Structure 1
Amino acid sequence: MSDFDYDVVVVGSGAGGAMAAYTLTKEGKKVLMLEAGRDYDPVKETPMFNTPAQAPLVGAPTPDKDFGYYDATVDGGWTVPGEPYTAGEGTEFKWWRARMLGGRTNHWGRYALRFSEHDFKGYSRDGLGADWPFEYKDIAPWYDKTEELVGVCGTNTGLDDMPDSPEGVLQPPPKPRIPELLVAAAAKKLGIPAAPMHRAVLTRPKDNRSACFYATECGRGCSIGAAFQTTTSLIPMAKATGNLKIITDAMAKTVEVDEQGVVNAITYIDKNTAQPVTLPAKVVILAASACESARILLNSKSEQFPQGLANSSGQVGRNIMDSTGADFSAEIPALKGRPIYNEDGHTANHLFIPWWGHKAQAKGELDFARGYHLELKTGFQAPGSYYPAKLQGYGPELKKQAKHDYGAQVGFSLRGEMVPNKDCFMEIDEKVKDKWGIPVARFHWKWSEQELNQVEHGLKTIRAILNNMGVEVDSMPSPEEAIKKGGEIIHEVGSTRMGSSPEDSVTNQYGQTWDCNNLFVMDAGVFASNPHKNCTLTIMTLAMRNASWLSEQLDKGAI
């Protein structure tokens, strides 16, 4: 690396790593980025127009393609060959690894909802979990900058769960679909509002990225850059400064320290040669994903840090949270037989149901402390290989029946906030190593009554909405049956929690570890709680804010 005298090493190229690199390089700092996966170019590699019929198994999910043949994740998933993880007794946990340049931003849902004032001070409100060491007003200006840079469509709603953006920041949202309007009307009868979903999808051109023209699912990646991913935005923009160098296939193993406990190097495995490489480092930013960054810290044991690097609090690997999840769908009689037309839109829901129960929780009227939202799956979506079993016969009569029922299905997906608990954590399994010789993570997981009660409330709400839409629901699954496994929503956060004290947290509010002032964490590991909203917008917002602060500290010579 003698040709590139870097100031900062960033581990990871997803939401946090790419935003940190972009921010630092724009400030004139030289950044070396390590990415565990291969190089990836969505402009060349995204199958924008291929149909399910052109794919093996009609594009159906397989163990090596969890979300189907066309999903953008090229070498990762819940199972990565040669890179296992283990689970404690009685635990079911699914750990997603992206293993590609751009990380999970290549296939995420692009839901981009701000956390609200309720979300940052949960402990102060109900005594559960932990507060964030700042308030919404402190982060709001950085949300403004991130939304403007990324490109988010939506509208200001005035709802207390959806903080407003400044005038002109949000791009116009797509129009609601007919089924979504029907759901909104049914929910309104219950006093529950629906609202346009905020998504990191361009509805107007921006920079050198085109507006969405409703081609295929955003999970495939986006060759025109309309659906946000770092590989078509932050990484190319950082490269354009001349201050970014990327090493792919670099599996970070440990962060090294000197005799004084100051970070001075990082060791990674070159996956092409299977050999370790140690590089000097003045400053290290871990943004490898919450659990991967925690794994690196726990594996970075030394005489100075026998329990793992930056772990004097004992909190590295603790406080892991994922979003709760539960799905339910039904056929709506009023939607059958309607005229068929193009109802594609930007492939995800245009309307959704944000959390409406803060006042009820404040009054103690609910038996769970944190909220959820309901995402909708509706419309004339591209048919796949599945058809309802009730379809009978063949030929014209079968086609007529299928056409009559097409587009009548409405799906609800609950996504809720989890309260951290002592049973949900990760540690290092010293008996198992991955193919690169690195000890693997072992997970422990258990949903609490908080989450089960929340899901039960959500299922009852879905049932009531469906009743208002003319659907008689005979039975609903129990919360234990309905709730998704830990890690299944792929929103795991909290493993290197930020806080106000080194006694019970790993980093300060800027992601700087209490134990090493030149070591930072800038992924979702620093989250003090896990609000029901997708975490990616807040990961990027924190990374922009914290990398800006780091740049100032470097200019001052404080680090």
Structure 2
Amino acid sequence: MSFEIKSSGEAYDVIIVGSGAGGGMASKILSEAGLSVAVLEAGGDFDPAKDEDRTQLRPPWESPRRGSGTRIRPFGDFDQAIGGWDIEGEPYTNVKGTQFDWFRSRMLGGRTNHWGRISLRFGPNDFKRSSIDGMGDDWPIGYDDVKPYYDKVDKLIGVFGSKEGIYNEPDGFFLPPPKPRLHEMFIMKGAKKANMPVIPGRLSMLTRPINNERGVCFFCNQCNRACQAYADFSSGTVLIKPAMKKGKVELYTNAMVRAVTTDDTGKATGVSYVSKIDMKEYKLKSRVVVLGASACESSRIMLNSKSKSHPNGIGNSSGVVGKYLHDSTGADRMGILPDLIDRERYNEDGVGGMHVYTPWWLDNKKLDFARGYHIEYWGGMSMPSYGIGFSMDTMRKYLKDEFGNPSPNGGYGEGLKKDIRRSYGSMVGMSGRGESIPRETNYCEIDPNVVDKFGIPVLRFHYKWSDQEIKQAKHMQDTFEEILTNSGAVLLGQKPGADTMYGLATPGRIIHEVGTTRMGNNPATSVLNSNSQAHDCKNLFVVDAGPFVSQADKNPTWTILALSWRTSDFIISELKKKNI
């Protein structure tokens, strides 16, 4: 059952704030244990199989904006990410001299409707980085604590890949991976010359059936549009909607949570939220509150949840809520493969993401920066979109005529069309996604002077990259150039230099922020214990990326899912013991 407004005073066993990876997994596990669950989502309902929501398999010219992005759909009209870095009426601020771009998702399933579905486990080293390089802190748990839940997530959701036996890139239960596409074969050749590994990607798309509720990938390459066959993973279609059918789960859409409510003892009693429908405030009651609104949004809710028992915000006696915020590093480079100009045309769509990737392969003891990065590869002949004619002035000199001279075609009209057809499928690029160092000086806090349109105080960000991340970006650019050159590609654009921090993306732009409600054994230096339970409030839990002590050079979603399942099992056990 789904609600947009519910009367104040409704009571549940568990209230879950957020419907993304963490909230979705918690809704499934807790409801299947027989608990009554309310899920609050700040955006609207969404089902990619419904015609009014469907964008998959629709040509760009059906878009009223010809595929162009808008304020609330920054990745394009046919990308299913509804939200973005700049949402009307929902501001955030940055202190002078710093910048953090905060992406919010406003739809059922949260950010699991916008991600590459790169589903990597953290490795044994990733939980103990401080012991290796002396920076940051170790997690209070290790890989062996999370491995059983990674296994469960693999089997429940499905992920393709290959067993490689790489110590810090743990293998899982894999479906068959798709074969490399032609541009990826060129990349593999270039990486091999540089002694870099390239292995099959690990993405959560079903290349084989795993249950009767979901279809199998038919390789349309449009996973960013959301799959009407439910063959790719998003929380709404794979976790929450099935949980609503099987268990006692009620979904509240367009519900902007203001705060966690508490009693005189400081125990959580539920949440208050503002309905976007009538702009009135409502309250729901529960025995347990689970926050999965995203690392920064959950911190905002906690910091705004002040009371006599929690004068600095619920769970914040340590003053650590919002601290140690960190995003993945990111940088890119692209080129054109002359050997693929005038290539034969055929369907090579594949999945909506990389068929191969490079895991981190080096020893940091021999480098001038800590941690590492993986490399994602892109290119090929997927459905053309508007804007494909970019860089044509640069590319035209490689589009030789029959006499070996640069293309004589002009940059418009019929000549431009000819050049685009000739060059289509010859572009190749790569993106590095790496680990940054968690620092107390990178954080979010409540801005004392700004509220959103719901009257809720907003976040203010403090964030700067350090030399560690900048040196890592330089290494990325050197590596990209080596791979592209070895592959036979001609580099496009100037190599980013020190003046641009070697093309290092603005913090927040990779949308992997973690660490704001970090777990730890010491309540004076952490927010949560090793089960993601608040030290200061035993019936409050956090299941998004906030509990992360460090990010790793992997995408965070698979670890969010595994930790949420682990925390949900703990909640069930504690309720049975009557400890909460």
TM-score range, shorter chain: over 0.9
Q: Is the 8 A contact 1:319 1:425 kept in 2?
A: yes
Q: Is it true that 1:263 corresponds to 2:268 in the alignment?
A: yes
Q: What corresponds to 1:373 in structure 2?
A: 374
Q: What corresponds to 1:229 in structure 2?
A: 234
Farther-moved stretch of structure 1 (389-398 vs 214-223): 389-398
Measured in 2, the distance between the counterparts of 1:223 and 1:3 equals 37
Q: Is the 8 A contact 2:27 2:37 kept in 1?
A: yes
- Aligned AA for 1:317? G
Q: What corresponds to 2:60 in structure 1?
A: 52
Measured in 1, the distance between the counterparts of 2:196 and 2:502 equals 26
Q: What corresponds to 1:557 in structure 2?
A: 578
Shift of 1:340: 1.8
Q: What corresponds to 1:345 in structure 2?
A: 350
Q: What corresponds to 1:176 in structure 2?
A: 180
- Aligned AA for 1:116? G
User: Which residue among 24, 28, 32 is the counterpart of 1:22?
Assistant: 28
Shift of 1:137: 1.4
Q: What corresponds to 2:100 in structure 1?
A: 93
Q: Is it true that 1:401 corresponds to 2:402 in the alignment?
A: no
Measured in 2, the distance between the counterparts of 1:47 and 1:334 equals 34
Give per-residue Cα distances to partners, 1:331-375, cap 9 Å, x unaligned: 112222322211110121101111101xx21xx211111110111
User: Which residue among 286, 289, 294 is the counterpart of 1:284?
Assistant: 289
Q: What corresponds to 2:399 in structure 1?
A: none
Q: Is it true that 1:476 corresponds to 2:495 in the alignment?
A: yes
Q: Is the 8 A contact 1:151 1:202 kept in 2?
A: yes
Q: Is it true that 1:414 corresponds to 2:432 in the alignment?
A: yes
Q: Is the 8 A contact 2:342 2:423 kept in 1?
A: yes
Measured in 2, the distance between the counterparts of 1:522 and 1:429 equals 25
- Aligned AA for 1:553? E
Local SS of the residue matching 1:143:
helix
Q: Is it true that 1:254 corresponds to 2:259 in the alignment?
A: yes
Q: Is the 8 A contact 2:9 2:285 kept in 1?
A: no
Q: What corresponds to 2:466 in structure 1?
A: 448
Shift of 1:493: 0.6
Q: Is it true that 1:69 corresponds to 2:72 in the alignment?
A: no
What's the RMSD between the two structures over aligned residues? Answer: 1.7
Give per-residue Cα distances to partners, 1:290-337, cap 9 Å, x unaligned: 100000000111122111110111110000010111111001122223
Local SS of the residue matching 1:56:
coil
Structure 2: gaps of 5 or more residues? 1-6, 397-408
User: Which residue among 138, 150, 163 is the counterpart of 2:157?
Assistant: 150
Distance 1:397 1:35, change over 3 A: closer
Local SS of the residue matching 1:264:
strand
Measured in 2, the distance between the counterparts of 1:496 and 1:333 equals 49
- Aligned AA for 1:49? L
Q: What corresponds to 1:493 in structure 2?
A: 514
Measured in 2, the distance between the counterparts of 1:176 and 1:397 equals 32
Measured in 1, the distance between the counterparts of 2:102 and 2:357 equals 27
Measured in 2, the distance between the counterparts of 1:280 and 1:470 equals 62
Q: What corresponds to 1:433 in structure 2?
A: 451
User: Which residue among 508, 523, 528 is the counterpart of 1:502?
Assistant: 523
Measured in 2, the distance between the counterparts of 1:184 and 1:254 equals 50
Structure 1: gaps of 5 or more residues? none
Give per-residue Cα distances to partners, 1:82-122, cap 9 Å, x unaligned: 11111111122111111111111112211101111111111
- Aligned AA for 1:476? K
Shift of 1:385: 2.6
Measured in 2, the distance between the counterparts of 1:395 and 1:556 equals 73
User: Which residue among 102, 113, 118 is the counterpart of 2:109?
Assistant: 102
Local SS of the residue matching 2:331:
strand
- Aligned AA for 1:92? Q
Q: Is the 8 A contact 2:256 2:273 kept in 1?
A: yes
- Aligned AA for 2:528? T
Q: Is the 8 A contact 2:258 2:301 kept in 1?
A: yes
Q: Is the 8 A contact 2:221 2:382 kept in 1?
A: no
Measured in 1, the distance between the counterparts of 2:31 and 2:10 equals 13
Give per-residue Cα distances to partners, 1:151-189, cap 9 Å, x unaligned: 111111122342012xxx311111111111111121112
Q: Is it true that 1:120 corresponds to 2:127 in the alignment?
A: yes
Measured in 2, the distance between the counterparts of 1:62 and 1:140 equals 40
Q: Is the 8 A contact 1:93 1:443 kept in 2?
A: yes
User: Which residue among 185, 191, 207 is the counterpart of 2:195?
Assistant: 191
Measured in 2, the distance between the counterparts of 1:275 and 1:397 equals 58
Shift of 1:218: 1.2
Q: What corresponds to 2:402 in structure 1?
A: none
Distance 1:466 1:47, change over 3 A: same
User: Which residue among 15, 29, 35 is the counterpart of 1:9?
Assistant: 15
Give per-residue Cα distances to partners, 1:389-409, cap 9 Å, x unaligned: 324336776554333322111
Q: Is the 8 A contact 1:48 1:216 kept in 2?
A: no
Q: Is the 8 A contact 2:10 2:284 kept in 1?
A: no
Farther-moved stretch of structure 1 (298-307 vs 398-407): 398-407
Q: What corresponds to 2:554 in structure 1?
A: 533
Measured in 2, the distance between the counterparts of 1:196 and 1:216 equals 16
Local SS of the residue matching 1:23:
helix
Give per-residue Cα distances to partners, 1:485-537, cap 9 Å, x unaligned: 11101111101001121111100111100001111011100001011211111
Local SS of the residue matching 1:429:
strand
Q: Is the 8 A contact 1:85 1:441 kept in 2?
A: yes
Measured in 1, the distance between the counterparts of 2:559 and 2:432 equals 20
Measured in 1, the distance between the counterparts of 2:8 and 2:196 equals 60
Distance 1:398 1:259, change over 3 A: closer
Shift of 1:414: 0.9
Q: What corresponds to 1:465 in structure 2?
A: 483
- Aligned AA for 1:438? I
Q: What TM-score does the superposition give when structure 1 sets the normalisation length? A: 0.95
Measured in 2, the distance between the counterparts of 1:494 and 1:398 equals 48
Measured in 1, the distance between the counterparts of 2:529 and 2:473 equals 33
